[in-house]
Amino acid sequence: MNPLRTEPQSPLVVPPRVQLLAAFERPYEQAVAAARTCYSGAGVLTVDQVSGVGLPADKQQARIELRDRIAASTFKAGHHTTLQHGYLSFALDGVSRQLVWSTLHAHPFYNSEQVSQRYVEVKAERAAIPVLPPAADAVYRACIDRQLAQYKHLIGLLEPHAEARYFDVFRARAKKPEKWMSAIHKRAQEVARYVLPVATHTWMVHTISLVTLLRYWRLCEEPDTPAETRYVVGEMVRQVLQLDPLLGRLEVEPLPHDLLPAALRIGKGLDLDRQRRMAAQFDEELDGRTSRLVDRFADNPRRVADAVRLVLGLPRDALDDDAAVALAVDPAQNPLWGESLQTGVHQKIGRALHAAHYLFHKKLSHAADSQDQRHRMAPAARPMVLGYLGADPDYVVPQLVAEAGGAVEAAYRASMEQTWSAIGQLRALGVDPQWQAYLLPNAVCIRFSESADLQALRHKHAMRLCYNAQEEIWRASLDEAEQIRAHEPAIGRHLLPPCSVRFAAGVRPICPEGERYCGTPVWLLAADQWRRTL
């Protein structure tokens, strides 16, 4: 059997649903046409030309043989850009958020539109349930049911506190409170979701190139979700092979789990003491921050300035460093940064920002990091959560829960204790660690290192310093901007929220959020005055 031919078997009680929505026709021959175009003296070749359509039988057969030789040789040699011309769009429904975080969004080569757990309430029976022995199944299902009930209970407990904070910001709206109850409910819902399991279902449109699909298939046994990944990716592969059976000629098979470097390292089991020491060491080094700047090029401003001068063809004595940096990154001098289309990433001077680099250590909840990782130009070395299945609850407490205190915080912490207790029961029953991890709450701490050049970081901060951004990501971005301002004021003073960027660039309206305006004219505040109460 060709390794790409797959009949996936679901490890879940209710299989995830996969549908190929749209695809380029004849992607196999399209890749060959692209490859041959590189050496063509007659212009761009078409798929009909590489397959000999319309030629006499003998000449067509020769074209087909040449087509297959080129496909095999370019693939084996690693010339895979030819496979990036064929794009595939899938509808994925009933996949776990753990799968999305661990696999589908763990790389930069995709585009997804995913349902928002911040704004869409989670309903019953929306979680991945693995096929388990009866005793383990009872523990697993009881935990899932309890987490969903606690989510709904917390929404009710949090709403009065969310309402108070909301009308502290929007005082005029308090005259007609009923008009704003939906917005307040969503604020409570956004925080309550921290108790939900990472097994919770999600749905999305996921678009990738053919080479990304082949990479998914090769690494489908990678931790943390090998069983679900193999099923979902296998179904994607099966449907693509139905579209173009010629792709079955490409020799790709899943790398066995026991040959993966990550599996080899953790395969001997979880060392709980080692896990505790790692977490304690990391948290101590964070020194109370969400994100800590741990390394940077010492001469970042000079690097950017030199790059700008090279673009303009100027010697150093014609444009000093501060002026050169400002020309590239200050929206008052480079108003393209104020455009919603983000054309600044294509301009020559804007690309000078790639010269500066930063490295951060960060701690976010799984919920927050699932959004943070969507900034694909700020890549991170994220952990295998299989190494985080310690006996001690390890979670983030959202600001609204901490400020509410009392019954709200007690209910929240009780949920965490009960969840980790259920994980411990599954461990005692010998359940595969990947299924134990599906019970982890959205609140579980994710510790990782993240790097970015100034081009990517400027864009990220222009999105995530907005007061409407997810709370933890906003605090991480604030930490990063503060530290860069302290070390590199010529750069740091221009790391701004979107309204401040647009204000400086002369773009109107100043706030791009419309009816989602946060209620605070942040563009009039100095950076040390940025505070969020909502």
Residues 192 and 211 in one domain: no
Residues 108 and 67 in one domain: yes
Determine the Cα–Cα distance for residues 263 and 280; give it in Å rounded to an integer: 24
Element (H, E) at 207: strand 201-209
Find the domain containing 208 and state its range: 17-115+201-266
Element (H, E) at 201: strand 201-209
79 in a structural domain: yes
Residues 209 and 195 in one domain: no
Which two three-digit tokens encode residue 363? 């701690």
Determine the Cα–Cα distance for residues 520 and 287; give it in Å rounded to an integer: 29
Determine the Cα–Cα distance for residues 405 and 165; give it in Å rounded to an integer: 14
Instruction: Give the per-residue pLDDT at 2.
Output: 57
- Mean pLDDT per segment of 10 residues, for the chain of length 534 residues? 67 98 96 96 96 97 98 96 97 98 96 95 92 99 98 98 96 95 97 98 98 96 93 96 96 85 60 85 97 98 99 98 98 96 93 98 98 96 84 95 98 98 96 96 98 98 98 98 98 98 98 95 98 90
Residues 165 and 254 in one domain: no
Q: Domain containing 57 — which CATH number?
A: 3.30.1360.170
DSSP tag of 464: H
Residues 34 and 111 in one domain: yes
Task: Decide: 514 and 499 in contact? Cβ < 8 Å.
Answer: no
50 in a structural domain: yes
Task: Decide: 494 and 330 in contact? Cβ < 8 Å.
Answer: yes
> Structure pTM?
0.95
User: Among 214, 246, 266, where does a domain finish?
Assistant: 266
Element (H, E) at 22: strand 17-23
Instruction: Give the per-residue pLDDT at 391.
Output: 82
Residues 233 and 222 in one domain: yes
Residues 212 and 192 in one domain: no
Instruction: Give the per-residue pLDDT at 274.
Output: 81
Task: Decide: 392 and 279 in contact? Cβ < 8 Å.
Answer: no
Residues 215 and 192 in one domain: no
The Cβ of residue 336 has, within 10 Å, a number of other Cβ atoms equal to 16
Split into its structural domains, the chain has a count of: 2
Q: CA end-to-end span of the chain, whole Å?
A: 57
